[in-house]
Amino acid sequence: MSTTYNKSDHEGNAKIAKFMEYELKDRGFQPGVPDHKYWSNEDRVPKILCEEGFTRYHLSWDWLIPVVEKCFNTNKTGMLYLLLQASLLSWNFDRVHAAVLEIIKYDKENNYK
């Protein structure tokens, strides 16, 4: 598991946040606040998930497991879901994270919600 935050992590985390129905919002300029954007979903608690660039889907089981649950709750079947199951059984965080990103990519390409 990587402990750094690179462009690939940022892009992957943004895809996951969108899959989890969060939106990137702009709070406008605030003196002393380096980043003005944050992930939010008005129907969820917390309303502010995290400042942009500080999501931890690529680092923490606590962040990733709700995403895994949503993947399974979509009631879809197929090789990608078998891949996700196998990656969970391996207890390999990076494999689970990669499987989640593949499912999100597939869902987006096939217009699933």
Q: How confident is the model at residue 100, as a pLDDT?
A: 92
Q: How confident is the model at residue 48, as a pLDDT?
A: 47
Q: Strands across the sheet with 23-26, in order?
A: 23-26, 37-40, 48-51
Q: How confident is the model at residue 101, as a pLDDT?
A: 92
The Cα 69–Cα 66 span in angstroms is 5
Segments of the chain scoring below 70 in pLDDT: 1-6, 27-55, 75-77, 111-113
Contact 22, 41 (CB under 8 A): yes
- Residue 6's H or E segment, with its range, is none
Q: What is the 3-state secondary structure (H, E, C) of 18-78?
A: HHCCCEEEECCCCCCCCCCEEEECCCCCCCEEEECCCCCCCCCHHHHHHHHHHHHHCCCCC
Tell me the chain's radius of gyration from C-alpha atoms. Answer: 15
Q: How confident is the model at residue 34, as a pLDDT?
A: 56
State pTM to two decimals. 0.71
Q: How confident is the model at residue 9, as a pLDDT?
A: 77
